[in-house]
Structure 1
């Protein structure tokens, strides 16, 4: 089976070629078993507190759960984000999702804004939301709550047929992402995708971190938590959009986040 697997760390020329060709790649073994267990326990607490019933997603869990906060600038993943965006980007949102045991197929969609369809901005649809999805339960076989992607669909001007979307139908070129817990799927907002069925007797959890250009509005918060900003690191503060704008809003003098090599 074809799989767009890349190594952790900096974005290589081959990584970039894979991403531009398929619209996504998978980084295996980003988290250790202990880290997966800690992030899974944090996710379960988040959804229990939110009273999640059935499929659900909770934002801002990085503010209250240190193990999830550490994913914001994970050294295996953030260099990939930086390689695709350059030095100036923010964490637009963080969504912790839960698919219940024996959950059915999700609907096909592209990521974006319901208020203004990203397709209106140009062709191909620009990279405005770069998602890093941390798998916190095993998805090494199909029908484990995997993501299903349509490779290269971020480049097509032709929409997925409405009847396929309405019926949540199968597509012969759909690619079910199979990877163990601790792996990370990184993908372009314009790739057509859906949540695949989940046959297991346990709930499936994924932590999604979405990075965007700095001028895009955050989608999981109206404003940053001041308590969180005071206790987190300078780099994470910058990635939350808390940076100086000497030539407002994003002109000359806008400093890049304090990466280690800056």
Structure 2
């Protein structure tokens, strides 16, 4: 994967790589050790008990291993550090080029894979994640423009042993699910990195978590971004603490879709002469 630092970030080059290159890049140096430690502590706190485990797409279910792979949702309500991560200026700068200047956030969650945790089946991410049901999508749907960007903020080392995310370079160019004939595991590469690094990729690229064969956790903050008109996958507003929006930055309000006026009741909007206003 191409690697960038805050000083070398080139939104045009990154957007081209996401669309027409390998489909993924690595951003380094965006978050401090203190931010990573705080995020990790909060995620461990909220995923400490087995009864908090949530099944998610592509997760292996055999051998009773579900409790070794855990999700934590609604991160905006669990610590200011996550709002700062989601709206980091470098991430915003890059994604404004890739998804349009008024893009939104579809979800912000955490994935924690404990030692011995299983991997996933290769898949693609929302809104493409059920492309195996082709009849439910419009005819001619393709990857000529992006409706998704994925950000993984690494909280632990992503190595071969810890199960660093695998992906098939270039697979984002053809919008479909991988098949056995594609030999994903024989041709994939890994999103390797250190705590604080950010793996940014087009979610139409075939990818999956790999088994954690190490003796340490492999945790990450996972953020889904989308064009302003796409329905978010996670309903975040109702989980926000009181007063959250009163102090939210302009970028965070954009990510929560508050700048986009639709849907709305047009008869009421006409009466108030507010149709289309932000």
Same fold (TM over 0.5): yes
1:101-250 maps to which residues of 2 (within 5 A)?
A: 101-113=115-127, 117=131, 120-121=137-138, 122-124=141-143, 126-139=145-158, 141-156=159-174, 159-162=177-180, 171-221=185-235, 223-224=237-238, 225=240, 227=242, 228-243=244-259, 245=261
CA–CA separation in structure 1 for the residues paired with 2:175 and 2:253: 37
Q: CA deviation at 1:244?
A: 5.6
Are the counterparts in 2 of residues 46 and 61 from structure 1 also a CA contact under 8 Å?
A: no
CA–CA separation in structure 2 for the residues paired with 1:132 and 1:114: 16
Q: For residue 5 of structure 2, what is the aligned residue in structure 1?
A: 7
Q: CA deviation at 1:57?
A: 1.4
Q: CA deviation at 1:161?
A: 1.6
In the superposition, relative to structure 1, how do residues 115 and 222 fare at CA in structure 2: closer, same or farther (>3 Å)? farther
Are the counterparts in 2 of residues 42 and 67 from structure 1 also a CA contact under 8 Å?
A: no
Superposed CA RMSD in Å reads: 2.9
CA–CA separation in structure 1 for the residues paired with 2:196 and 2:68: 23
Q: For residue 45 of structure 2, what is the aligned residue in structure 1?
A: 45
Q: CA deviation at 1:66?
A: 1.1
CA–CA separation in structure 2 for the residues paired with 1:218 and 1:143: 33
Q: CA deviation at 1:87?
A: 1.1
Q: For residue 258 of structure 1, what is the aligned residue in structure 2?
A: none
Any gaps of 5 or more consecutive residues in structure 2?
A: 54-66, 266-274
Higher-Rg member (1/2): 2
In the superposition, relative to structure 1, how do residues 240 and 143 fare at CA in structure 2: closer, same or farther (>3 Å)? same
Runs of 4+ displaced beyond 4 Å: 113-116, 246-249, 252-255
TM-score, reference length from structure 2: 0.77
TM-score, reference length from structure 1: 0.82
Q: CA deviation at 1:229?
A: 2.0
Structure with greater proportional helix content: 2
SS at match of 2:3: coil
Report the number of matched residues. 247
Are the counterparts in 1 of residues 157 and 195 from structure 2 also a CA contact under 8 Å?
A: yes
Q: CA deviation at 1:171?
A: 2.7
Are the counterparts in 1 of residues 99 and 147 from structure 2 also a CA contact under 8 Å?
A: no
In the superposition, relative to structure 1, how do residues 160 and 130 fare at CA in structure 2: closer, same or farther (>3 Å)? same
